[in-house]
Structure 1
Amino acid sequence: MADHARDALPLPDYDHLPTGSLESRVRSLGADEVEELLAYERSHADRLPVTEVLAARLEQLRAGAVPTSGDPGALRPEQGQGRGGSPVSPATSPQPFGAPPHGTPDQRGKPKGDRT
């Protein structure tokens, strides 16, 4: 069942946003919207780094900061990447290498002498 409070948040797919992109994303929000996110965060996941970012932004707004457009290059996982998987292919993979000759069951290491 979908959480109505989550669907009404000012940032789409808020619960799945990477914490690192949140600081630039909340720059476009007003004080009321940041307060709404902060209340939601505290009553749900209550992640300390997230509450710190939201509280700091709320303090900035109350001190006279104005909302900006935010960082257009911020990660936006809710929009999807279009392609998934690893960018590694056989053409970009390194050449295989053998295990070191010491300590393997087939190639025992040489003794280091008498250690008495």
Structure 2
Amino acid sequence: MTDSAHSTLPLPDYDHLPLGGLESRIRSLSSDEVETLLAYERAHAHRVPVVELLGTRLDRLRAGAEPTSGDPGAVRPEQGGHRTGSPVSPATSPQPMSPPPHGTPDQRGRPKGNRT
């Protein structure tokens, strides 16, 4: 498939969907549409979990499963605004401490000028 095939995929944001979002959104696709995605995936990224997911869905559709509405709230990369990063703040940070001296992790370290 060429890049023009990318624009005709049944899920326009397919390349950016995480596995969890893809799993939910392919439920609404027909077997032909799943076959299109599977061929595209094999020709491009060939991610094993995605190939297995699409293959399993295709098998179910061929066995008589019907497309459903899928989960409209599935993870979508176009729905930005999710906060990322560490939730650590000064209020949740531990108290500062000196690292322990080598060999005795149960004792706090002392500054070099304070040794006797």
User: TM-score when scaled to structure 2?
Assistant: 0.75
Q: Which residue of structure 1 aligns with residue 100 of structure 2?
A: 101
Matches within 5 A, 1:8-47: 8-47=8-47
**25-34 or 94-103, larger mean C-alpha shift:** 94-103
> What corresponds to 1:52 in structure 2?
52
Q: Flag structure 2 segments of 5+ consecutive residues without an equivalent.
A: 104-108, 111-116
In the alignment, the residues of structure 2 paired with residue 92 and residue 7 of structure 1 have an alpha-carbon distance, to the nearest angstrom, of 48
Per-residue deviation at 1:13?
1.4
Q: C-alpha deviations, 1:30-54, integer Å up to 9, x for none?
A: 0010000000001111111000000
Percentage of pairs with the same residue = 56
Amino acid at match of 1:20: G
Give runs of ≥4 in structure 1 deviating > 4 Å. none
Name whichever of 90-99 and 67-76 sits farther off.
Answer: 90-99
Q: Distance in 1 between matches of 2:68 and 2:91?
A: 41
Q: Which consecutive residues of structure 1, in runs of 5 or more, have no partner in the other structure?
A: 109-116
Q: Find the counterpart in structure 1 of residue 5 from structure 2.
A: 5
Counterpart CA distance in 1 for 2:67 and 2:94 is: 51
Q: Which residue of 2 aligns with 1:86?
A: 85
TM-score after normalising by structure 1: 0.75
Task: From the superposition, tell whether residues 73 and 90 of structure 1 become closer, same or farther in structure 2 (CA, over 3 Å).
Answer: same
RMSD: 2.7
